[in-house]
Amino acid sequence: MNILLIGCGKMGGAMLRQWAAGGGNSFTVADPVKPDLPEGVSHVSKATDLPEAAFDVIVIAIKPQMIADLLPDYIHALKPGGCFVSIAAGFSIGKLEEIVGHLPVIRVMPNLAAMVGLGVSGLYANDACSDQQTKDVTAFIAETGRCVRLDSEDEIDRLTAVSGSGPGYIFEVMRTYVDAAKELGFDHDTARALVFDTITGTVEAARQSDASLEELRNSVTSKNGTTEAGLNELRRDGQLESLFANTVQAAYRRATELR
């Protein structure tokens, strides 16, 4: 496919690096200032530099507040039968259709781990998209990690609250975990290594196991042992469960407000 990215910020750039490394597609980036691009990716500084009907997919990777002003200038570059793919958070398909008309539009919610090929993305297509377009774009997005096809924009909002915003939650958990290790007397580098490797190893062990998370937790928790003592504090009065439930609910409410 011949693919145009409008904008190449942090998320768009991260995804582009994974796509370019995979090969098989041709990429052009439209950005007023030429970013640091992977080898083989073309660049234009403005929409008028683009030919008519040149691209199978146009990826909208600019800030949501810029879309209404900039996107109309790029409609001419989409091939007949092509589709728009938006990775802009909080900008609904309905708003996009007001700009481009009832053309094929796919909304994608990625997360930061796309930059290392371990992202989680949710994908929702409007009814103008063919099954083949949705299939092709799903495979294209999956080059950055897992891609989940969704049935509604409400599901996009719920996924945003869990995986889209999730890296922010985990970074904060990691930060406080590292601080706790430093309070025990470890230097900063050692504390980071202990926490990062503990989390990485635990996630991989869970991924490779058929046991439930509760069973895995119990398997490392001896009665009256150190893990039990720590878990008793972590789970005191159900505070951990409430904290995570309230966290994702707050993010979900905000996602619906933005849409």
The pLDDT of residue 259 is: 79
Give me the phi and psi of 147, to 5 degrees please: -130, 125
The pLDDT of residue 48 is: 92
Q: Largest Cα–Cα distance in the chain? A: 71
Kindly report the CATH number that applies to the domain delimited by 166-258. Answer: 1.10.3730.10
> So where are the chain's domains?
2-150, 166-258
Kindly report the CATH number that applies to the domain delimited by 2-150. Answer: 3.40.50.720
pLDDT tens per residue across span 107-162 = 999 999 999 999 999 999 999 999 999 999 999 999 999 999 999 999 999 999 99
The pLDDT of residue 198 is: 97
- The encoded tokens of residue 155 equal 């599901």
The pLDDT of residue 33 is: 85
Give the integer Cα–Cα distance in Å for 19 and 21.
5
The pLDDT of residue 128 is: 96
The pLDDT of residue 35 is: 80
The pLDDT of residue 9 is: 85
> CB neighbours (10 Å) of residue 176?
11
The pLDDT of residue 39 is: 87
| CA 218 centroid distance within chain | 32
Alpha helices in the chain (DSSP H): 10-22, 64-70, 93-100, 131-141, 153-159, 166-183, 188-208, 213-219, 226-234, 239-258
The per-residue b/e assignment along 14-37, b for 16 or more CB within 10 angstroms, e otherwise, is bbbbbbbeeeeeebbbbbeeeeeb
Which residues in the chain show pLDDT less than 50?
none
| CA 47 centroid distance within chain | 26
Give, in order, the Cα–Cα distances in Å from 85 to each of 80, 136, 216, 244: 15, 12, 39, 31
